[in-house]
């Protein structure tokens, strides 16, 4: 596992000549990657979010004056920006040294003391975020969703009447299912899914629109480097295979899901929509916010292949997360989304490196740009629940919003907004932006 050491790009005293970057989700200590286009007729291109702007890497790749400054590896940074100009996955496959070289070059070019010539060159590559179309940060090839929150597993069991016991295998390995990459979208609306469900006490299922639609607060892990088929990734190398993280909403049709799952797991209850935030915050940007990995003494400790000294020292990540809900009535009244829960990624039972290792241990070959969902992120208290099935106790205790509306599950017209940020004393706060999605009425076939 790579040691997340701090360097000049984490300098808390550094500010940018781009005023909107200072104090925003996207300061120069962040520099997350994504894809955008300035208009619907243009091709998607790779960019870096800075304040309220996006920096066009294809434009920068055709210029060289900005590639200067102490500590810049101009050869490696040039190769990296040229790769990113084509496809972010090409940059990912170059590995951590290239990722670092480009980060240093961008940081120095955007820092307040950059020369006037550099500022002009970089400034010519900026586009206002409010005027561009955003897409998924990479073209995702494969998507796997994990199940790594002890509190979520416990809470859902209680809510649906199964009790607080968690399946024994949960404590020994990160559990996951293979999802569908084709339905991954950035900040989009989707139709309520149709499907088959079995109501309690009934003798046969019914077909129709989902009646128990839910969200799931998750994070996305972006694979950065391929591993060869049949070659598992060891814990010591795991984070060199991870490029960064974003926000993810694993929308869930609970009535369809619970009926279909025995014995093979989620299918149509999950495959209709998954929302992603537009930006990948790199693992290097997250270095100041690493935490020791700890495991409750009452729970089994990881097997040796899922453990290690580096993991114990800094395997956790301190990310503040929240869920807000905006109903159609709120929108009609001009009201903003209302926060309904808040938690932290540090509560997960399994870390990002353990998820990647477990995914490859049988010989599975991951590719740059693949997405691993962390599973729902819930904390130890009721208000830290990462899904409405927990908050509303499977519909038995609906939540009440400031408008007086109640929600046991999601209604048509509801929009869910996920937000994430990292902050601590002695470091600059960085954000993940937002992950949004809106529920539209179902479409009959």
pLDDT score of 117 more than 90 = yes
Whole-angstrom Cα distance, residue 396 to residue 159?
Answer: 8
Sign of the CA dihedral 386, 387, 393, 396? positive
pLDDT value of position 435: 98
Alpha helices, DSSP H only, in 334-378? 352-360
State whether CATH 3.30.1490.20 applies to domain 143-440.
Answer: no
Give buried/exposed letters for 226-241 (b at 16+ CB in 10 A, else e).
bbeeeebbebebbbbb
- 164 band by pLDDT with thresholds 50, 70 and 90: confident
Rg (CA), the chain: 22
Whole-angstrom Cα distance, residue 213 to residue 254?
Answer: 6
- CB of 167 within 8 A of CB of 419? no
Task: Express each pLDDT in 299-339 by its tens digit.
Answer: 999 999 999 999 999 999 999 999 999 999 999 999 999 99
pLDDT value of position 200: 86
- Taking residues 182-211, what's their average pLDDT? 94
Residue pointed to by tokens 């960019």 = 47
pLDDT score of 149 more than 70 = yes
Give pTM, 2 decimals: 0.97
pLDDT score of 209 more than 70 = yes
Residue pointed to by tokens 């915050």 = 281
pLDDT value of position 64: 87
Domain range summary for the chain, segments of one domain joined by +: 8-135, 143-440
Of 381, 315, 374, which is closest to residue 342 (Cα–Cα)?
A: 381
- CATH class as words, domain 8-135: mainly beta
Tell me the CA distances in angstroms from 4 to 240, 286, 392, 404, one per residue in order.
10, 8, 39, 46
Whole-angstrom Cα distance, residue 43 to residue 123?
Answer: 21
Sign of the CA dihedral 291, 286, 97, 356? positive
- Taking residues 151-176, what's their average pLDDT? 91
Other C-beta atoms closer than 10 Å to the C-beta of 292 total 11
Single out the catalytic residue among 10, 100, 152, 349: 152
pLDDT value of position 203: 93
Residue pointed to by tokens 């300098």 = 11
pLDDT score of 1 more than 60 = no
Give percent above pLDDT 70 in the chain.
Answer: 99
User: DSSP state, 44?
Assistant: P
Q: Mean pLDDT over all residues of the chain?
A: 95
pLDDT score of 2 more than 60 = no
Instruction: Name every residue whose Cβ is closer than 8 Å to that of residue 394 and which is 6 or more positions away in sequence.
Output: 159, 160, 161, 254
Task: Express each pLDDT in 36-49 by its tens digit.
Answer: 999 988 999 999 99
Clarify whether 152 is annotated catalytic.
yes
């Amino acid at each position: 596992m790579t040691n997340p050491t701090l360097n000049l790009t984490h300098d808390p005293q550094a500010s940018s000549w781009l005023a909107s970057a200072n104090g925003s989700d996207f300061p120069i200590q962040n520099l997350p990657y994504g894809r955008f286009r300035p208009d619907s007729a243009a091709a998607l291109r790779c960019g870096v979010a800075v304040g309220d702007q996006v920096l066009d890497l294809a434009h920068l790749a055709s210029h060289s004056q900005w590639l200067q400054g102490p500590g810049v590896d101009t050869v490696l940074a040039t190769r990296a920006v040229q790769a990113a100009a084509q496809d972010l996955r090409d940059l990912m496959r170059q590995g951590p040294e290239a990722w670092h070289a480009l980060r240093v070059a961008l940081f120095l070019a955007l820092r307040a003391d950059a020369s006037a010539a550099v500022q002009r060159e970089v400034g010519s590559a900026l586009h206002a975020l409010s005027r561009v179309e955003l897409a998924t940060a990479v073209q995702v090839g494969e998507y796997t969703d994990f199940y790594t929150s002890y509190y979520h597993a416990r809470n859902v069991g209680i809510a649906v009447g199964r009790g607080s016991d968690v399946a024994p295998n949960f404590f020994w390995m990160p559990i996951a299912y293979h999802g569908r990459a084709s339905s991954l979208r950035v900040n989009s609306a989707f139709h309520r899914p149709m499907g088959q469900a079995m109501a309690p006490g009934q003798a046969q299922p019914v077909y129709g629109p989902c009646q128990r639609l839910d969200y799931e607060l998750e994070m996305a892990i972006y694979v950065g480097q391929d591993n060869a088929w049949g070659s598992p990734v060891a814990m010591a190398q795991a984070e060199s295979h991870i490029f960064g993280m974003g926000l993810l909403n694993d929308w869930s049709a609970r009535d369809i899901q619970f009926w279909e799952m025995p014995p093979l797991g989620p299918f149509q209850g999950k495959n209709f929509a998954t929302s992603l935030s537009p930006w990948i915050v790199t693992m290097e940007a997250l270095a100041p916010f690493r935490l020791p990995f700890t495991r409750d003494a009452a729970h089994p400790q990881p097997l040796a292949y899922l453990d290690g000294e580096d993991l114990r020292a800094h395997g956790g990540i301190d990310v503040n997360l929240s869920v807000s809900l905006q109903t159609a009535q709120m929108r009609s009244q001009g009201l903003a989304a209302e926060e309904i829960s808040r938690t932290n990624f540090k509560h997960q039972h399994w870390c990002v490196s353990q998820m990647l290792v477990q995914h490859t241990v049988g010989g599975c070959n991951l590719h740059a740009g693949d997405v691993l969902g962390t599973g729902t992120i819930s904390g130890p208290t009721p208000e830290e629940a990462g899904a409405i099935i927990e908050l509303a106790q499977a519909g038995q205790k609906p939540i009440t919003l400031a408008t007086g509306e109640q929600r046991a599950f999601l209604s048509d017209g509801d929009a869910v907004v996920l937000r994430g940020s990292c902050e601590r004393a002695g470091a600059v706060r960085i954000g993940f932006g937002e992950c949004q999605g809106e529920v539209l009425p179902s479409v009959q076939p």
